[in-house]
Amino acid sequence: MHDQGSVHPGAVTDSALALIQEKCLSSNNRFGSEFIDQHLLVVQQLALTLAEKFGADQKAVIAAALLHDIAAIENFDCLPDHAELGAERVSELLSPGGELSSIGFDALRIDRIATCLREHSTPQRHNETIVESVCVSNANAMAQIVRPFYWYNYARDLKMLSHQKALAWYRALVERNWEPLIDAAKNIVKEDYEAALVITR
């Protein structure tokens, strides 16, 4: 088990969630205010489930789960590069002088969180990276599988796809996310995956 330090996980959640709620309510956020409940908090819940199973640093996982899309929330145009830009942004936020510096993370934990953001777009495996990144990246893919209606609407509203093309886009997203998931993640969302295949026929 990684050292959890003196900062309570609830304090991490409160601070990171307050900041991300402010960002999601901004007119710059193209994902909609529902992105908090429909994606970020879902990623947090799933990532924590995996963190408990694998003994990951829960506070790093909480921060990374809530902040993993911050670059794209702040500037949707950077979506193709938001993982790398988000890693840089979260380091700024958590380091001394940053908006979240009061959480009190040391440089090592901040670096672990930045790694999670950098790698979150594709599910990672245990032999590839740190355990926290495995948890967050798999949870990100899982969250897209378990919230089909949000991502269908994303395809319709933001990608401007027709009904059939939106269904096809979402099905492809689900299949792309499913294949690289670790077994523990697949076991959690297996029924949701099967349901997503049914509703996208």
Q: Among 14-18, 111-115, 177-181, 183-187, whose mean pLDDT is lowest?
A: 14-18
One-character DSSP codes across 11-52: HHHHHHHHHHHHHHTSTT-SS-TTHIIIIIHHHHHHHHHHHH
CB atoms inside a 10 Å sphere around CB 17? 17
CATH superfamily of 9-143: Hypothetical protein af1432 (1.10.3210.10)
Question: pTM for this one?
Answer: 0.92
Query: What's the distance, CA 57 to chain centroid?
Result: 16
Measured distance CA(116)–CA(97) in Å, rounded: 22
The answer to whether 31 touches 159, Cβ cutoff 8 Å, is no
**Confidence tier at 14 by pLDDT (50, 70, 90):** confident
Residue 155 has pLDDT above 80, yes or no: yes
pLDDT category, 11, cuts 50, 70, 90?
Answer: low
- Give the chain's radius of gyration (CA, Å): 16
Please, is 164 exposed, middle or buried when counting C-beta atoms within 10 Å of its C-beta (0-12, 13-18, 19+)?
Answer: exposed
Number of H helices, E strands in the chain: 11, 0
Q: What is the pLDDT of residues 25-47, one digit of tens each?
A: 999 899 999 999 999 999 999 99
